[in-house]
Chains A and B, each alone.
Chain A
């Protein structure tokens, strides 16, 4: 009896310890973002003098006013939206096409094609900055939307995800459609894709997040201010090329605004993202 009570007490103590650990850690992980949001409502002297305070004194929305009055900021938002949506939709489509071919269609060279795609996946992105710039310029796509978008359209990892997904679903439905005489693209479009929704959503999230947050590719593919995306524009704002003073409320307001779309996507699809580990692909 005594030992049982002790065990219960020990377990309670254990979970109390775990909770306090978790809580302390959660505060460390969340607090910086709280500071970012709060600071964007501060005046510059207040932000500098009281960097830790959670009550703006005085509270002001001037940073947001300044951003909304700024034509540049709208250009950045517009460009980010154009690039992200184009990249995301086309990438999901092209990756799923290729993934389907690699998983289901039998043809000579399939193994080699897959091996090549995996090898390509292994090339580190930063190493490709100069090479990509060279080719974009060579093709006359420098400083255009095409140069910003086309190199991002395909990613080997996405092909990989789709291939694995298609391999995990039963082939019988497709077979019967085939016997009924449907052509391959039709089978893919109206039978396979609807079944692949979970994987498509995953890929959509990854592509959206990846291209919305992309910076390096836009640095090397365009130079005119009219083609700045949010990441590039805000990065220039940060390095002080566009003004003087530390302007932290303004920079943090811009960072907060640019985080909203990915944060929303994250919270909406949270369960899928967090449970990916539990085999969401196969649901």
Chain B
């Protein structure tokens, strides 16, 4: 009798203990994610509506509810906070605008090259991927050295008869410099007077500063290898017979690329663009190591500003508010690219060709882990 009860308890069927075991296996992950992700987000949301200055606990008597004041200071109330935030948004916007298309194009180009059946192709893949495994700290130091005023890049330029700028010390906007070549300089008029988020229209049009260009080049250098791997996976999903058929019909390399390769790896392109958008709006390490926002705030990014506002200026409410606005921007852009991918007019026709899983989860997560 006793044994039968015991056995029933122990072996209620082949899947009997799974519920308990399942939750037990998941427990550590859920507890840690809950405590260090979900709970902190709730706490930071509270801080973004408070005037907490870093003393004591934000849940204690030192923090008071201030409603939307922190968000207003950033978005609508003219002042230093708004000005810094506007500049940070502008800088990061131009960073994204240049890095995402260039890194996508470079990565695709590299992938097409190393997808050919050539000798030493493994060596080339390794060479292009290597920058992706190094730490942002080491790479930033290296780029600061290469792009220092008397550094390797300017030395190279001098051999070519050009004199390079002072790079990370140069706050001039790239577009301003180009416009200046055509004699267009800041005129008093409309552009100088109109102001959005504390930054004049003319300054919104500055483009990335020469200093920011160093970080742009660096981003392309370090991430193109990672995305090359993603594209390589996509390319290897293409049936070679399609290309051969096209070649028999006399299609040129470019036409094959344009009309076969690109449509077939469209899902990968969207993945790379989405991951690129998410990553480039989070520039932090490079700025922290390299410039801390200088010169003249032209390498300031929302992520660094959020950190600086909180940790260095003890304005935690504003810092948390910046983080949430940045979060909103990233979520918005992700949804936007997802909508674009789901465009019902285009996708179904091609779905036949588009392999459903051209991208390994590994690579997607590699980027997640690496950043």
Q: Which residues of A contact B (CB under 8 A)?
A: 14-15, 18-19, 21-22, 25-26, 29-30, 32-33, 35-36, 39, 47-49, 51-52, 94-95, 97-98, 100-102, 105-110, 113, 116-117, 120-139, 150-151, 153-161, 164, 178-179, 181, 183-185, 188, 202, 206-207, 209-210, 212-213, 215-216, 219-220, 230-231, 234-235, 238-239, 246, 248, 251-252, 254-256, 258-259, 262-263, 265-266, 270, 273-274, 276-281
Contact = CB atoms under 8 A, between A and B. Distances in A.
Contacts of B47: 130, 134
B33 A262 contact: no
B371 A125 contact: yes
B195 interface: no
Nearest to B292: A239
Interface residues of B, number: 107
B148 A94 contact: no
A122 B125 contact: no
Main secondary structure of the interface of A (DSSP, over half): helix
A80 B336 CA distance: 39
A51 B151 contact: yes
Nearest to B360: A276
B142 interface: yes
B289 A97 contact: no
Nearest to B283: A126
Given A26-B124, A98-B29, A130-B310, A235 B137 contact: yes
Contacts of A158: 365, 369
B334 A122 contact: yes
B368 A155 contact: yes
Interface string B22-58: 1101101110110111111101100100000000011
11 contacts: A18-B118, A35-B146, A48-B150, A105-B19, A105-B25, A128-B40, A135-B40, A160-B361, A230-B137, A234-B137, A239-B290
Given A22-B124, A161-B365, A30 B326 contact: no
Q: Which of B26, B40, B122 has the most CB of A within 10 A?
A: B26
A164 to B, nearest CB: 5
B133 interface: yes
Interface stretch (B170-178, B206-214, B238-246, B317-325): B317-325
Contacts of B292: 239
A15 B207 CA distance: 39
Given A215-B136, A220-B307, A255-B138, 16 more contacts: A14-B253, A15-B116, A25-B113, A29-B221, A51-B148, A95-B29, A97-B26, A124-B326, A127-B323, A132-B36, A134-B40, A161-B362, A219-B307, A238-B140, A276-B229, A277-B236
A150 B19 contact: no
Q: Which of the listed residues B131, B135, B229, B303 has the most CB atoms from chain A within 10 Å of its own CB?
A: B135
A255 B135 CA distance: 9
A186 to B, nearest CB: 11
A150 to B, nearest CB: 7
A154 B368 CA distance: 13
Contacts of A179: 14
A21 to B, nearest CB: 6
B204 interface: no
Contact of B142 (A36, A100, A280): A36
B155 interface: yes
Contacts of A207: 369
Contacts of B369: 155, 157-158, 206-207, 209-210
Contacts of A270: 126
A33 B143 CA distance: 10
Interface in B328-371: 330-331, 334, 360-366, 368-371
B93 interface: no
B73 interface: no
Contact of A22 (B113, B142, B156, B323): B113
B142 A106 contact: no
Most buried by B among A47, A188, A248: A248
Given A155-B368, A215-B136, A252-B141, A106 B33 contact: no
A154 B371 contact: no
B110 interface: yes
A207 B152 CA distance: 34
Contacts of B320: 130-131
Nearest to B235: A277
A253 to B, nearest CB: 10
Contacts of B124: 22, 25-26
